[in-house]
Amino acid sequence: MAQSPSQTRRSRGLGLGHAVALVVFVGIIVSTVFISSYKWSFYLGGRFHVLPCWQGMGKLQAKTGDYLPFVWIAPQTRDVGGYTQTNLTGDAHLCTPRGENIHLSLGGGMRKHVNVSTDGEAINLYMDGRSPIANMNGDYSPHLEFKGHWQNAKLVMDDQGTVAKAFRSDGTIYHAQDRNRVYTPELVPITVTSASFSEYQAACKAMSK
C-alpha cells in the first residue's frame, strides 16, 4: 500500500532526526576524547580558557635590531599516539626591525603525557615563512627556532641562534639561494607573554616608527 503524503513527511522527518542525533552523538564522543587527551591545552598559560590554545608575543633584541614574534599554539591532533612527544601546531607572525609583518607557519613539541599544569615544562617551537611564492619555489625563509620552558604564564626561551642565520645586518631575509651567507653567531633570549593579535599589530606599528 502506498504511503500517504503525511506518512512520507513523518518518515523523512524521522530519518533527518536520526541523522542529527547521530551527528550530535559523534560530536560528543569526539569532544570527550579530545578533552581527555588534551586537557592541558585548556590550561596553557596557567589558567583555564574555553579554547584549547594559547597566544602571546615577546621581543628579541638581536644585534641586527629588535624582532617581535607573535605565536598561536594548539595541540596537533592528527598525531595522537604516534610519536614520542606531544606535538604542537599553530600560526605565527614576526615583526622585523624594518617594520615588516612576516606570516609564518608554526610547529613544535613538548614531552609526552603533559600535565594539566604546564609550569616548568620544556617546549620547542619552529617557524617557517608562509606565502604563495614559498609554496611554488620551496623557499620557506625565514626559519626560526625557539627553545625553553613554561614559567607560570610565560614562555622563557632563546632563539637557538636562528635569527642571526635568518636575517642580514640590515634586517632583510637571507633566502635559500644565499648559501654563502655571512653572519655572527648569536644566542638571543626571549620571554613570550600572553597577548592578542591586535596588541601585536599595535606593538609592530609602534616599532616601525
Domain residue ranges of the chain, discontinuous segments joined by +: 5-37, 42-207
CA-to-CA separations, 85 to 88, 109, 119, 158, 189, in angstroms, rounded: 9, 6, 17, 20, 24
Averaged pLDDT, 129-145: 74
Cα 87 from chain centroid (whole Å): 11
The reported pLDDT for the residue numbered 134 is 57
Mean pLDDT, all residues of the chain: 81
Read off the pTM. Answer: 0.78
The reported pLDDT for the residue numbered 145 is 96
Share of the chain above pLDDT 90, in %: 46
Which grid coordinates are listed for 108? Answer: 613544535
Question: pLDDT tens, 78-123?
Answer: 655 456 788 999 999 999 998 899 999 999 999 988 888 999 999 9
Averaged pLDDT, 120-128: 95
